[in-house]
Amino acid sequence: MAHFEKANSIGEWLDQRLAVNTLKKVMQTEYWIPKDINFLWAMGMVLAATFGILLVSGIFLLMYYKPDTNLAFDSVNYTIMSEVGYGWLWRHIHGVGASLVFLIIYIHMFTGIYYGSYKKGRELIWLSGMGLFVAFSAEAFSGYMLPWGQMSYWAGMVITNLFSGGSLEAYGLVEWIRGDYVPGDAFLTRFFMLHVLLIPLAIIGLIVLHFGTLRIPHVNNQEGEEFDYDEAAELYKAGNVKDSKVIPFSPVFLSKDVFVMGVYFIFFFYLVFYHFDFAMDPVNFDPADGLKTPAHIYPEWYFLWSYEILRPFSKDLGLVAFAIAQVIFFMLPFLDRSPNVAPASRRGLFKYWFWLMLVDVIVLTFMGKLPPTDALFANIGLVSAILFFVLWIALPFITKSEKKL
């Protein structure tokens, strides 16, 4: 057993047993972040905060939610909304948070793409981040089933049907996923388990991994500059904070994060109190009815772009396209053949690739919600979906020909 001296303070007592002073250095005061950053670098902490809000509001909702097809709808819309003190607040926070978390994820992703923050040693940051995107998508989908409204039921029907594999007609697999021929009680209870336990656990694990992957390659900076962190850190510790290229995570980087979070929370709670409708589709306020298909079935906005890649093609081709679209972003670090880590504006053709991709995904998102019966919208959707793949096929070629900076 180790030898312990009598401690003179609680801090010292903890330090002897947990090495808290070392921990604080490693995780905060001597965790070095580049100084040349903008507010987009705070999106990681904004995401962590939003996840925290979703977790806390989810715990409160979980106390009153009933995962049973006969009770679920009213437990959400009556018990939580009318009988539980501030139940409405937790529900609106949870609904708005679920939507905003995707907005921030997309901003975070496109920031990474713009600044090339997935290259040269940072591949795992990107891959674990994409893992988080997939986990959040599964979390959002499973959560959407729980109120057991019309959109829950029919979204569940449509998405699980995808697993029949088009012409493969693997209906056995679909039934296995549903636990029934159609979405029912078995379906609801298993998605409830996924939403409140298994997927959150995976998300927490992936967040830890995501933070871990940052440690060695370090956070990227606005110019993609490569510099000696130890040297910069020594300069900072010596008191020359003006010339040093780094800042400590806490309190300098954190102070800016907290300010950005403040601005974000104003926006967040404005939506929670005055504009929550966008995050809670009216159709889902009709109870699930397997005999009545809604006039329009569409996913929440954050899935629309991939939904639109599924829609304009024939059944099998659409499924293949959809499957590729789900995983293609994982491939980004390997399809980008350029040696440059730099903002897209300095990277020649890649600059156009970036903005085209961003606009294309937004156009796909628009078309994904519009009725496909309109020929104009259907054609715009088809062209955008084809462009999406053309851009991915072109990526290795245009980045290969990029001049070294």
Question: What is the DSSP secondary-structure string of 236-258?
Answer: HHTT-TTT-SEEEIIIIIHHHHH
* Burial of residue 372, with CB atoms counted within 10 A of its CB: 0-12 exposed, 13-18 middle, 19 or more buried: middle
Find, among 205, 182, 85, 72, the residue nearest to 135 by Cα.
Answer: 205
Say whether residue 380 binds another protein (CB under 8 A). no
CB 202 within 8 A of CB 135: yes
CB nearer to another protein: pick between 70 and 167: 70
- Judged by CB under 8 A, which stretch of 22-30, 157-165, 208-216, 295-303 contacts another protein? 295-303
Q: How far is CA 183 from CA 198, 276, 290, in A?
A: 20, 28, 9
Q: If binding is defined by CB under 8 A, does position 107 make contact with another protein?
A: yes
Per-residue CA distances from 392 to 21, 389, 399 (Å): 47, 5, 11
- The yes or no reply on residue 290 touching another protein (CB under 8 A) is no
If the CB atoms of residues 16 and 77 are measured against another protein, the closer one turns out to be: 77
Is residue 286 at the binding interface for another protein, with CB under 8 A as the rule? yes
C-alpha 125/C-alpha 212 separation (Å) is 8
Member of 227, 269, 334, 352 binding another protein (CB under 8 A)? 269
Which listed range, 9-17, 34-42, 137-145, 175-183, lies at the site for another protein (CB under 8 A)?
34-42
If the CB atoms of residues 362 and 394 are measured against another protein, the closer one turns out to be 362
Please tell me whether residue 223 binds another protein under the rule CB under 8 A.
Answer: no
Applying the rule CB under 8 A, the residues between 51 and 70 that interact with another protein are none
Nearest to 144 by CA among 157, 131, 132: 157
- Bridge partners of 34, per DSSP, are 246
Distance CA 106, CA 88 (A): 27
Is 27 a residue that touches another protein (CB under 8 A)?
no
Q: 33: part of which helix (H) or strand (E)?
A: strand 32-34
Residue 158 binds another protein (CB under 8 A):
no
Closest distance of CB 126 from another protein, Å: 20
Contact flag: residue 198 with another protein (CB under 8 A) = no
Residue 8 per-residue DSSP state:
S
Q: Does 49 bind another protein (CB under 8 A)?
A: no
29 lies in the binding site for another protein (CB under 8 A): no
Tell the smallest beta-carbon distance from residue 2 to another protein (Å): 37
Of the candidate spans 156-164, 208-216, 258-266, 325-333, the one that interacts with another protein by CB under 8 A turns out to be: 258-266
149 - beta bridge partners? 287
Q: Is 371 in the site for another protein (CB under 8 A)?
A: yes
Would you say 73 or 322 has its CB closer to another protein? 73
Among 178, 256, 311, 347, binds another protein (CB under 8 A): 256
Does 28 interact with another protein (rule: CB under 8 A)? no
State the Cα–Cα distance between residues 53 and 291, nearest whole angstrom. 36
Q: Closest approach of Cβ 65 to another protein, in Å? A: 17
Q: Is 265 in the site for another protein (CB under 8 A)?
A: yes
Residue 324 binds to another protein (criterion: CB under 8 A): no
* DSSP helix/strand/coil, 373: coil
The first and second tokens of residue 80, run together, are 């939580």
227 binds another protein (CB under 8 A): no
Binder of another protein out of 258, 317, 327, 393 (CB under 8 A): 258
Outline where DSSP puts E strands in 213-327: 246-248
**CA neighbor of 222 nearest in space, from 95, 49, 39, 1:** 39
Helix (H, G, I), strand (E, B) or coil at 181: coil
Q: Which of 3, 4, 181, 274 binds another protein (CB under 8 A)?
A: 274
Using the rule CB under 8 A, which residue among 12, 15, 16, 40 binds another protein?
40
Residue 181 makes CB contacts below 8 A (sequence gap 6+) with: 175
- 367 burial level (CB within 10 Å; 0-12, 13-18, 19+): buried
The residue ranges that bind another protein (CB under 8 A) are: 35, 38-40, 74, 77-78, 81-82, 86, 88-89, 103, 107, 241-242, 247, 251-252, 255-256, 258-259, 261-263, 265-266, 269-270, 272-274, 278, 280, 282-283, 285-286, 295-296, 301, 304, 358, 362, 365-366, 369-371, 374, 377
